[in-house]
Amino acid sequence: MKNKCLYYAGLAVFIMISGCDNQNQSRADSALILQGSTMGTFWRVSLADVAPERKESLQKAVQRQLDDDDRTLSTWKADSVLSRFNRYRGSEPQPVSDDMADIVTEALRIGKKTDGAMDITVGPLVNLWGFGPDKQPVKTPTQAQIEAARAKTGLSHLRVIQRAEGAYLQKDLPALYVDLSTVGEGFATDHLARLMEKEGITRYLVSVGGAVLTRGLNPQGEPWKVAIQKPTDRENAAQAVVDLQGHGISTSGSYRNYYELDGKRLSHVIDPATGAPIQHRLVSATVIATTALEADGWDTGLMVLGEEKAKALALREKLAVYLIIRQGDEFVSWMSPQFRSFVLSP
């Protein structure tokens, strides 16, 4: 049997590669690995059937593209395209790139489908609770502060306009603040896949943070394997292993990005209806979809909705969804019928 080792790829999913530390492995059997950091997280690209001589130029091309995406989408960079839009206080349509228009259009679509549970205008609340570029609060925000931040949110205040000369973003609430953190990693992952295609590469696994997309077979001629992290383990341990079959996967969880305030554990996923971090038994939602962007949008919406509504939405929209739910000291999992067809184990 071949050796197996685990490569950490993101917050809640990781990549399993057969034969990765086999000393006798031939060069043709090993993946060409590129990696680096971006957007406050890590990226990784594994390639099959690509000459090692291309490593340096591909590494540079990937980093350049991710740096460009970061300069467009970041709320952490004051000079990004998105930050400039957020600072703009008027209601005139603002010209944006097709990429930006596509991300916002997809995020608004999923936002509506989740009844506003996934809401990219939730930024003022994200920042109030200390999960954005602003500092963490030392005291629990008051209801008045929450309501003041909530008054600056709402999907209905943002729209994408497509004209013959290009795309525009428009807001009708001056203080509206768009936060694309929840879909940025998914978009960047799809963008890396397009870069690989442009480079003539057809067997790859690309990932940014917790979003992953694969195409073709790994160097051993097997499916690329992606594992969903067990929620309690500090080390990588698989709750389930999937073959993405050319799809994107993303996980949103409440157990990795959190802090404690006034004796309460606060997750970075905010319920736009209450203006506060979610408080329920659903600890992670994983989605497989045609694109990593789509998967990345749905997973946060499902997390906000909680166990029962998330299951109902997954069934209604025929989404490939895997949920992990806390039951006392235990964790139980649930998967939609669409998810089942991707599962290799258990």
Of 116 and 223, nearer to ligand FAD (C-beta) is: 116
Whole-angstrom distance, CA of residue 330 vs CA of residue 19 = 33
Query: Which pair of tokens denotes residue 271?
Result: 């319920």
Collect all residues with Cβ–Cβ distance below 8 Å to 328 and sequence separation of at least 6. none
Assess 155 for contact with ligand FAD (CB under 6 A): no
Site size toward ligand FAD (CB under 6 A) is: 32
Collect all residues with Cβ–Cβ distance below 8 Å to 56 and sequence separation of at least 6. none
Of 214 and 300, nearer to ligand FAD (C-beta) is: 300
2-6, long-range: CB < 8 A, 24+ apart? 2/220, 6/227, 6/236, 6/238
User: In this chain, which of 65, 140, 220, 257 binds ligand FAD, going by CB under 6 A?
Assistant: 257
Assess 70 for contact with ligand FAD (CB under 6 A): yes
Taking the complex as a whole, the smallest distance from the CB of residue 122 to ligand FAD amounts, in Å, to 4
Among candidate residues 186, 155, 217, the one with its CA nearest the CA of residue 28: 217
Whole-angstrom distance, CA of residue 42 vs CA of residue 20 = 20
| CB distance 218 to 206 below 8 Å | no
Collect all residues with Cβ–Cβ distance below 8 Å to 305 and sequence separation of at least 6. 114, 117, 313
Chain residues 258-287 in contact with ligand FAD, contact rule CB under 6 A: 268-270, 272
Assess 59 for contact with ligand FAD (CB under 6 A): no
- Strand 158-163 and strand 264-267: the pairing is unpaired
User: In this chain, which of 18, 86, 153, 181 binds ligand FAD, going by CB under 6 A?
Assistant: 181
Chain residues 80-119 in contact with ligand FAD, contact rule CB under 6 A: 118-119
Of 125 and 205, nearer to ligand FAD (C-beta) is: 125
User: In this chain, which of 43, 153, 178, 185 binds ligand FAD, going by CB under 6 A?
Assistant: 185
Stretch that binds ligand FAD, among 42-50, 67-75, 151-159, 214-222 (CB under 6 A): 67-75
Assess 305 for contact with ligand FAD (CB under 6 A): no
Contact positions toward ligand FAD, by CB under 6 A?
A: 11, 39-41, 70, 73-74, 76, 118-120, 122, 126, 131-132, 179-182, 184-185, 209-210, 252, 257, 268-270, 272, 296, 300, 304
